[in-house]
Amino acid sequence: MNADDRQGAWQPAMTADHMQQPTDPLQLSILYRGPLSSCNYGCDYCPFAKHAETAAEHETDQQALERFLDWVDARPAHDRIGVFFTPWGEALIRRRYQQALIRLTALPQVTRAAIQTNLSCRLEWVEHCDKDKLALWATYHPSETPRERFVAKCHDLHRRGVRFSVGAVGLREHADEIEALRRELPPEVYLWINAYKRLDGYYHPEDLLRFERVDPLFPLNNTRHPSRGRACRTGQSVISVDGEGTMRRCHFIKAPIGNLYAPDFASVLRERACGNDTCGCHIGYIHLDHLGLYDVFGDGVLERIPSVPLWRERALPVLS
């Protein structure tokens, strides 16, 4: 695709070449979000409505997770499946999600099994995973845990040879904390900053400068990317799946496109233009073709690790 094509309005090309055929090896990244909706933290900026789950609700989540794992397990070994758990809360403190990652990383058809986490869990379980396939997306929440404790977990992960990115919400009042986190993390670890976009004009120019020094990709996240009519890989090679197997193209477009547990689930995987005006979340806009972010993130798309350490290629005053 040339630069001009990327700027133009995308036209769907629904030829047989672009549709998943039943006999094709499946190449699919699945963002799984089951019913779990509890967290051991209580961040003010949390976008999720959390509650304390009952034993019955945990059981429902467990059964949904097992059904999903059984489905992945039953896929042919030549498939190329990435799984990314994006729970409405903290899942990794639950043994069932640790076991899920152990099980998934052992499957030949799974190329990557990743999860979003606040990293408050114990870490011994990672030793039972195939670490070549395991990845964590770890978010630091300064109001919920001391930086020393979070950083110690990161160093532990690093020593254990686990792939992970670290991030934080870019609240202005957390700028000092985020810079300190950058200084204390292993230099090989990417630290991303999610822009706080709920208030227009929230950042002052000096805030933008500080955050961009830490995360060169911060300006990209601090943008609501125009997306209507644009080509986005979701719905074709990336889908969102809930606990009942309902497939959606992404977390931001609620219309179902099928059900993962239907025998013909793959028949709905095809190119689709985005129907939303903008896309402002990393786990969404990264799949927009015209942004070219698959080139930036390579095989670290799911866990948000750029393929080259571009955060180390800058002179970072905050690190000196």
Reading the block at residue 160, the tokens are: 């254990």
Reading the block at residue 180, the tokens are: 């300190």
- Cβ(283)–Cβ(187) under 8 Å? no
Phi then psi dihedrals of residue 17, to 5 deg: -65, -25
- Cβ(15)–Cβ(68) under 8 Å? no
Name the segment binding ligand SF4 (CB under 6 A); options: 18-26, 154-162, 197-205, 244-252. Answer: 244-252
Tell me which of 13, 14, 21, 48 binds ligand SF4, using CB under 6 A: 48
Query: Does 306 sit near ligand SF4 (CB under 6 A)?
Result: no
- Cβ(227)–Cβ(285) under 8 Å? yes
DSSP conformation class of 234: B
Reading the block at residue 58, the tokens are: 């945990």
Q: What is the DSSP pairing of strand 163-170 with strand 272-273?
A: unpaired
Which helix (H) or strand (E) segment holds residue 182: the answer is: helix 175-184
Which helix (H) or strand (E) segment holds residue 257: the answer is: strand 253-259
For residue 266, the minimal CB distance to ligand SF4 (Å) is 19
For residue 15, the minimal CB distance to ligand SF4 (Å) is 20
For residue 77, the minimal CB distance to ligand SF4 (Å) is 29
- Cβ(221)–Cβ(194) under 8 Å? yes
For residue 140, the minimal CB distance to ligand SF4 (Å) is 10
Query: Does 31 sit near ligand SF4 (CB under 6 A)?
Result: no
The nearer residue to ligand SF4, 25 or 280, going by C-beta atoms, is 280
For residue 21, the minimal CB distance to ligand SF4 (Å) is 23
Give one word for 298, left, alpha or beta, with left for phi > 0 and alpha for psi -120 to 50: left
Reading the block at residue 46, the tokens are: 């949390």
The nearer residue to ligand SF4, 210 or 249, going by C-beta atoms, is 249
Tell me which of 1, 18, 24, 42 binds ligand SF4, using CB under 6 A: 42
Query: Does 91 sit near ligand SF4 (CB under 6 A)?
Result: no
Tell me which of 234, 290, 302, 305 binds ligand SF4, using CB under 6 A: 234
The nearer residue to ligand SF4, 114 or 279, going by C-beta atoms, is 279
Tell me which of 8, 27, 46, 57 binds ligand SF4, using CB under 6 A: 46
Reading the block at residue 279, the tokens are: 């896309």
Query: Does 279 sit near ligand SF4 (CB under 6 A)?
Result: yes
Query: Does 90 sit near ligand SF4 (CB under 6 A)?
Result: yes
- Cβ(61)–Cβ(87) under 8 Å? no
Tell me which of 10, 97, 150, 252 binds ligand SF4, using CB under 6 A: 252
Question: Residues interacting with ligand SF4, by CB under 6 A?
Answer: 39, 41-43, 46, 48, 89-90, 118, 141, 227, 232, 234, 249-250, 252-253, 274, 276, 279, 284-285, 287-288
